[in-house]
Amino acid sequence: MTIKSADIDYDKYIFYNEFQRIQPSQSMVRPDLEMYWVTSIEPSQSSLIIKLIKQKFQYTTGQTKHLKRFKKKLDVEKHVILDVAICPTSDIDEDKLREILKEGLNVQNISLLKTEIPTNKPFDRELNMEWSKRYWPLVWKGNPMVQELHESFKLFSRDTTMKYLEEISDISEKSTKDVPVVTMFVDPRTDTVKSIQEDERCDEDPMKHSIMCCIDDIAKKELKRRQLVKDDKEINSYLCLNYDVYTTHEPCTMCAMALLHSRIGRLIYIEESPVTGAIGEKSGCRYMIHISCTLNWKYECFRYMGNALPKRRIDPLVQI
Ligand SMILES: [Zn+2]
């Protein structure tokens, strides 16, 4: 499958202009700049500065893996001078840093300036070169996030996704329930619907959110199946393993956790729940439960951003 770059927005992680992959927003198109202290040295001082960085600024190696420490330049007399990125300016004040450099380099005059440096990686080699020229020399070893995004894109079918979203949206629109939320579990390997449920909460059972109803329904069906089939070789302890879940509204913490426990593969929702949601970067308590990785499992999430589906608003304080 060839990927057309117009189909992926590398800035906001959107497929086909309509499906936003929910992940921490770190652009691969725009540089996130941070101010760094930069000092200029003679090439003969480079081993001293490397030693000094190891002693005093070792902690910066993790955050500077994508940077080159040194930037070559020529002074007015065409002598080679090296600019060295030390650390973010927010880490240490100027006087203190001057003292450290004076002692470490064994010189009296220290040149110190502030330079903006990209803290994120661009999505391709060309942009890497552009940022290197404009800001600071960057190392290029590819960007693993691009790889992840491409893998995700290859497995994403716009037609299949829209087909199921239209179906649940339709049921939600006609629903007379107090909370018109609809969820559908699909096994993507066979493209079969495993369960489709509406919200069933009531005074006796306020936990019957539509996702919980689906999980419950699938468990009951499996129990029945196991009672009928003896000597089953297909027993799988995760009944919803790698399933796709389509739901009309961003789920609450309980449901998002239940999906994690069930080891689903993907969640696709239509409407955001800014107050009670547990998925969106800015939703609720900002948990982003699908990638918070406490259970050694993650699932992908997408939010539908298009206008082709009617949206049913629900009181923002209601847990979905
Ligand atoms: Zn819920």
- Residue 8: inside a domain, yes or no? no
**Per-residue tokens: 297:** 């499992």
3-state secondary structure of 60: helix
Distance 133 CA to ligand 1 centre (A): 49
pLDDT in tens, 292-307: 876 789 999 999 999 9
Residue 157, domain member (yes or no): yes
Distance from residue 182's CA to the centre of ligand 1 (Å): 11
The pLDDT assigned to 164 comes to 98
Give residue 70's domain range. Answer: 33-142
Domains of the chain: total:
2
92 shares a domain with 124: yes
Q: What is the pLDDT of residues 69-78, one digit of tens each?
A: 999 999 889 9
**233 Cα–ligand 1 center, Å:** 33
Q: Which of 91-100, 162-171, 201-210, 307-316 has the lowest mean pLDDT?
A: 307-316
- Residue 303 Cα, ligand 1 centroid: separation in angstroms? 16
Q: Provide the pLDDT for residue 228.
A: 87
Q: Is the pLDDT of residue 117 over 90?
A: yes
| C-alpha 294 – ligand 1 centre gap (Å) | 19
Tokens of 220: 């009951």
Strand partners, 81: 73
Q: Is the ipTM of this complex over 0.90?
A: yes
Expressed in angstroms and rounded, the spacing between residue 93 Cα and the centre of ligand 1 is 48
- Claim to verify: residue 131 and residue 44 sit in the same structural domain: yes
Ligand 1: centre distance to CA 122 (Å): 37
CA torsion angle 228 230 234 237 (round to 10) = 80
The average confidence (pLDDT) of the chain is 93
Query: What's the CA-to-centroid distance between 197 and ligand 1, angstroms?
Result: 13
For 216-226, how does the pLDDT look when each residue is reduced to its tens digit (9 = 90+)? 999 999 989 88
Q: How far lies 128's CA from each of 7, 8, 35, 136, 140, in Å?
A: 21, 18, 19, 10, 7
Q: Give the pLDDT confidence score for residue 237 in this predicted structure.
A: 79
Q: How far is the CA of 184 from the centre of ligand 1 (A)?
A: 14
Confidence tier at 95 by pLDDT (50, 70, 90):
very high
State the distance from the centre of ligand 1 to the C-alpha of 295, rounded, in angstroms: 19
- Percentage of the chain exceeding pLDDT 90: 84
> What pLDDT is stored for residue 196 in this prediction?
98
What would you report as the CA-atom Rg of the chain, rounded to the nearest whole angstrom? 26
User: What length is written for the chain?
Assistant: 320
Answer whether residue 232 shows pLDDT above 70. no
SS (HEC) of 111-153: CEEEEEEECCCCCCHHHHHHHHHHCCCECCCCCHHHHHHHHHH
The tokens describing 27, both together, are: 């652009």
Residue 210 near residue 199 (C-beta atoms within 8 A)? yes
Residue 160 and residue 298 in one domain: yes
Same domain, 136 and 155: no
Q: What are phi and psi of 311, to 5 degrees?
A: -115, 130
If you search the block for the tokens 């929702």, which residue do you land on? Answer: 269
Asked if 189 and 284 sit in the same domain, the reply is: yes
Band of residue 311 on the pLDDT scale cut at 50, 70, 90: confident
